[in-house]
Amino acid sequence: MMSEKKKLHPISAVANFLKQLKELILPFIFLVFLNRGDDSEGFLEWLPFIIGGSIMVFLLVAGIIKWLRFSYWLEEGELRIEYGLFVKKKRYIPFERIQSLNLTEGILQRPFGLVKVKVETAGSSDSKQAEAELTAISKSEAQELQRIINEAKSSKRNTGAEEEQPVIQNNEEVVFKMNFKDLLLMATTSGGAGVVISGVLIFLSQFDELIPYERVFNELEQFVRSGVVLVSVVVIIGLLIAWIAAIIGTLLVFADFTVKKQGADLIITRGLLEKKQMTVPINRIQGVRIVENILRQPLGYAAVQIESAGGSVLEKESSTIKILPMIKKQKIEAVMKDVLPDYKISVDFKTVPKRSLKRYLFRESLLVTAVIIGVTIAFWPLGLWSLFLYVPFWLFGYSKFRSAGWSIEEAQLGLRYRSLQKHTLLMKKYRIQSLETEQNFFQVRKELANLRATVKSGETGAAGKIVDLDDESVKRIYQWYYPEKQGL
């Protein structure tokens, strides 16, 4: 099989230009404002603008050259790509190595009916990015590319099989579609306001020379003197605006979230302004993680993620994937039966021993003890009221203690623990990369130990850890994982 060489759409040149410009935005801003505030005249006054304009022209020309020199085609069971700015390079990717083609309709691509295709492979030679990327091709070309690769891989799997052996059908089935009510609830409980505010502050910090901060602070000082109530109202309004912005952002990202099952793949689509389609081979799924947000847990909602062997350092979304971003907890098992029938969701967890409680409370107390001591000394005797700060930390420690647990269901290990969120990680025995224990001097006296299990996820792996588990439970888990090592 051979196809003619194809070019990307010309908008790819613009995409290349914007990508490079994004990476150089801070140096570019530095150049533009290099002489700001100086008494430079004539040529020196305009030099930063000349350099900045030259850089933009160079990036645009480079983007056009990259587009002209980029071509791709299919030949001898491979996706072949030629590319390069000054030196032409070739990359040949065998179909059997291609795990998925992830499609994105970005702001640049959508008006022209185009998509961006990221080629995810097994054992990528570059752990920091996708194996290959087709910046702008038509939807029909992307779908045809998917069809040819899938058919080639299926025929290779069936080579040598008996004729009467049934062929796996690629019927498409919608297994989950997020409704607007749950989407809105997820957006309002996402805690994204802090992210928005942090992003704004980081952005403003880049403009020390442009923004007269001293004058702003002087005005702010006068403003504060005008009344605490007015300042409080302004702060609340600012937080409300940030919260609304975070809600809108979440709605745009997760709009029309749908999970489909097609043959041996899961296909996840989402997004309004930027529509994304991600293909996840089921055989690459290493574990299932149920996450309960501290705000959503009292409402009975949770999120379900899958840990995939795909992804890279810079493509975290390809390794830890939300397949159920917001769902009633009692509905998870019914949905997951269609998605991953091998996993048992409703299991009985064995808890950590009661003697661990003091250790959970003590660890949380350490976080606030230094503050309490400092406040007590500085404001004696009124500072003694700071002892009440222990209460919320003890409650959090108790919540961690109550959440911790483990389960074994035939070939499945489950670990449950809490950080700020409650995590339940379900792993198949043959997917576990490592099982580790650690025990310090104080745990030895109490016959306690920590247990950590890791599955492959991206380049670093995903782990679950239970703290202060009793020795007997640790031995049972180890004997389940290493049945030949009965002497543990």
Burial class for 439, CB neighbours closer than 10 Å (0-12, 13-18, 19+) = middle
Residue 137 lies in a domain: yes
- Tokens 């196809």 locate to 3
Structural domain ending residue among the three candidates 227, 254, 281: 254
User: Which residue among 167, 195, 212 closes a domain?
Assistant: 167
Average pLDDT over residues 433-457: 91
Assess if residue 488 is contained within a domain: no
Q: What is the pLDDT of residue 209?
A: 45
The yes-or-no verdict on residue 203 having pLDDT over 60 is no
**Domain identity same for 158 and 223:** no
Residue 314: predicted pLDDT: 43
320-328 and 172-177 beta bridge pairing: unpaired
- The pLDDT value recorded for residue 238 is 79
Q: What is the mean pLDDT of residues 298-316?
A: 76
Of 310, 329, 330, which Cα lies nearest the Cα of 320?
310
Is residue 300 located within the same domain as residue 391?
Answer: no
Pair 378, 389 in one domain: yes
Would the pLDDT of 183 be above 50? yes
- Report yes or no: 256 and 272 within 8 Å, Cβ to Cβ: yes
Token pair for residue 429? 């025995």
Residue 393 has pLDDT above 90, yes or no: yes
pLDDT of residue 461: 78
Give per-residue pLDDT as tens, 338-348.
889 999 998 99
The model's pLDDT over 45-70, given as tens digits with 9 standing for 90+, comes to 677 777 777 888 888 888 899 899 89
Whether residue 1 lies inside any domain: the answer is no
> Cβ–Cβ contacts within 10 Å for residue 476, how many?
15
Q: Based on the domain organization, do 348 and 371 belong to the same domain? A: no
One domain, residues 263 and 314:
yes
The 3-class SS string of the chain reads CECCCECCCCHHHHHHHHHHHHHCHHHHHHHHCCCCCCCCCCHHHHHHHHHHHHHHHHHHHHHHHHHHHCEEEEECCEEEEEECCCCCEEEEEEHHHEEEEEEEECCCCHHHCEEEEEEEECCCCCCCCCCEEEEEEEHHHHHHHHHHHHHHHHHHHHCCCCCCCCCCCCCEEEEEECCHHHHHHHHHCCCCHHHHHHHHHHHHCCCCCCCCHHHHHHHHHHHHHCCHHHHHHHHHHHHHHHHHHHHHHHHHHHCCCEEEEECCEEEEEECCCCEEEEEEEHHHEEEEEEEECCCCHHHCEEEEEEEECCCCCCCHHHCEEEEEEEEEHHHHHHHHHHHCCCCCCCCCCEECCHHHHHHHHHHHHHHHHHHHHHHHHHCCCHHHHHHHHHHHHHHHHHHHHHHCEEEEECCEEEEEEECCCEEEEEEEHHHEEEEEEECCHHHHHHCEEEEEEEECCCCCCEEEEEEEEEHHHHHHHHHHHCCCCCCC
Residue 167 reports pLDDT greater than 60: no
Average pLDDT value over all residues in the chain: 81
Mean pLDDT of the 416-442 span: 92
Last residue of a domain, one of 167, 196, 220: 167
Phi, psi of 380 (to 5 degrees): -60, 135
Whole-number Å distance between alpha carbons of 484 and 488: 10
The confidence band for 353, taking pLDDT boundaries of 50, 70 and 90, is very high
Q: Is 119 part of a structural domain of the chain?
A: yes
Q: How confident is the model at residue 273 (pLDDT cuts 50, 70, 90)?
A: confident
Structure tokens at 139: 């939807």
The least confident of 79-93, 187-201, 202-216, 470-484 is 202-216
Q: Can you give the pLDDT at residue 98?
A: 85
Say how far apart CA 178 and CA 198 lie, in whole Å.
29
From residue 123, how far is each of 32, 96, 130 by CA, in Å?
43, 12, 11
Higher pLDDT, 167 or 365: 365
For residue 283, give the nearest of 258, 260, 306 by alpha carbon.
Answer: 306
Q: Which domain holds residue 363?
A: 354-400
**What percentage of the chain exceeds 70 in pLDDT?**
78
Does residue 177 belong to any structural domain of this protein?
A: no
* Confidence grade of residue 318 (pLDDT, cut at 50, 70, 90): low
Q: Looking at the structure, tell me whether residues 163 and 215 fall in a common domain.
A: no
Query: Is 371 a residue whose pLDDT tops 80?
Result: yes
Average pLDDT over residues 245-257: 89
Is residue 262 located within the same domain as residue 325?
Answer: yes
Q: How far apart are CA 423 and CA 171, in angstroms?
A: 33
Please say if the pLDDT value at position 156 is more than 50: yes
Q: Is residue 462 pLDDT above 80, yes or no?
A: yes
pLDDT in tens, 170-179: 577 899 999 9
CA 173 to chain centre: 25
Query: Residue 339 falls within a domain, yes or no?
Result: yes
Tell whether 244 and 379 lie within a shared domain: no
Mean pLDDT of 319-326: 88
- Amino acid code (one letter) for 197: I
- Do residue 274 and residue 297 come from a single domain? yes
pLDDT at 125: 46
State how many domains the chain has. Answer: 4
| Distant-in-sequence, close-in-space partners of 193: CB < 8 Å, separation ≥ 6 | 239, 242, 243, 245, 246
pLDDT higher than 70, residue 398: yes
Range name among 149-153, 206-210, 264-268, 353-357 with the lowest pLDDT average: 206-210
Rg (CA), the chain: 28
Residues 41 and 108 in one domain: yes
Residue type, 253: V
pLDDT digits (tens, 9 = 90+) for 213-244: 555 556 556 655 556 556 667 777 877 888 88
Shared domain check, 163 and 31? yes
Mean pLDDT of 429-436: 92
Do 27 and 99 belong together in one domain? yes
Is there a domain that residue 443 lies in?
Answer: yes
Asked which of 270-284, 315-329, 358-372 is least confident by mean pLDDT, the reply is 315-329
Residue 127 has what pLDDT? 46
pLDDT at 165 over 60: no
**Residue-wise burial string across 183-205, b where 16 or more C-beta atoms lie within 10 A, e elsewhere:** bebbbbbbebbeebbeeeeeeee
Most confident of 145-149, 209-213, 268-272: 268-272
Residues in the chain: 488
Give the residue-averaged pLDDT of 450-478: 89
In this structure, is residue 178 part of a structural domain? no
